[in-house]
Amino acid sequence: MPDAPSEVIAQLAPTGVLRAGINMSNFLLVVDKTASGDPIGPSPSLSQAIADALGVPLKLIGYKAPSDVAAAAGTGAWDIGNIGAEPQRAQVMDFTAAYVEIEATYMVPPNSPIQSVDEVDRPGNRISVSKGSAYGLYLENNIKQADLLAVTGGDEAFNAFVNDKMEAYASLRPRLVTEVKKMPGARILDGQFSAVQQAVGVNKGNDAAYAWLKDFVENAKSSGMIAGFIETHGVQGKLSVAGPA
């Protein structure tokens, strides 16, 4: 892409540094940390590419959960926030189109009569989900008949599913592939109830920066940059490059 206009640089890096809010809980987008504690993965790599295009240094700011990134919108804590784009979050920040997608589905316990994703949202079924997650927010908007129980923390949500003998546990498919091994006889349902779309967010009111970021993300997808990040960080088959906007 051509050099960013001065207006865009002023909006995205008002302190002279691009401060990127990173969700540390997504193990596909943050795969490791440096010796100094900085996150490593596709999300930090995309942030570095944006900073390079702006011609400014990058500062990565880690947050425990995506809801924490969203809660800091408009406070001046970050300039871009890399989290799943959901309607609730779009009320406080503007999102580009997704750059990667992650399939979200359900795990059911041994001997469960549930055979398909569509059978989960039925009266009497209880679903455990990580509170504040993008897929959890999707379920909050879409579950009509089952009881949705949002539990703080992915490990805690899984433990609640097991200990309370719930009918389903909702999470990202790559996490479920690991969790299902802890419960012999449990199954991961085919298909998906949603695909979590990871995007780049910007604080509202920065229209020039928002337009530039949208173009940057589309170029990053079409040029193979995002696919390269996925390969470099070893998450092929778990992350997918999102389609064009």
Q: What is the CA radius of gyration of the chain?
A: 19
pLDDT for 2 equals: 59
Cβ atoms of 26 and 66 closer than 8 Å: yes
What are the tens digits of pLDDT across the range 146-186? 999 999 988 999 999 999 999 999 999 989 999 999 999 99
Band of pLDDT at residue 1, cut at 50, 70 and 90: low
DSSP 180: G
Encoding tokens for residue 205?
């009111």
Four-way CATH pick for 102-194: 3.40.190.10, 3.40.50.300, 2.40.100.10, 3.40.950.10: 3.40.190.10
Domain range 6-100+197-241, CATH architecture: 3-Layer(aba) Sandwich (3.40)
Q: Which of 79-83, 163-167, 172-176, 237-241 has the lowest mean pLDDT?
A: 237-241
Give the CA-trace dihedral at 166, 83, 141, 178, to 10 degrees. Answer: -20
Return the sign of the alpha-carbon dihedral for residues 81, 82, 83, 89.
positive
* Torsion angle of the four alpha carbons 159, 161, 164, 165, in this order, in degrees rounded to the nearest 10: -130
Of all residues in the chain, the percent with pLDDT exceeding 90 is 87
Nearest to 30 by CA among 22, 100, 51: 22
Which distant-in-sequence residues (6+ apart) come within 8 Å of 219 by Cβ? Answer: 1, 225
CA distances from 207 to 4, 10, 15, 203 (A): 14, 12, 18, 9
pLDDT of 196 reads 84
Show Cβ contacts of residue 7 under 8 Å, excluding neighbours closer than 6 positions.
208, 209
Residue limits of CATH 3.40.190.10 in the chain: 6-100+197-241, 102-194
Question: What is the per-residue pLDDT across 2-56, written as a single tens digit (0 to 9) for each?
Answer: 578 999 999 999 999 999 999 998 889 999 999 999 999 999 999 999 999 999 9
Is the pLDDT assigned to residue 134 strictly greater than 70?
A: yes
Q: Which residue matches tokens 């009881």?
A: 147
How far is 224 from 221, CA to CA, in rounded Å?
6
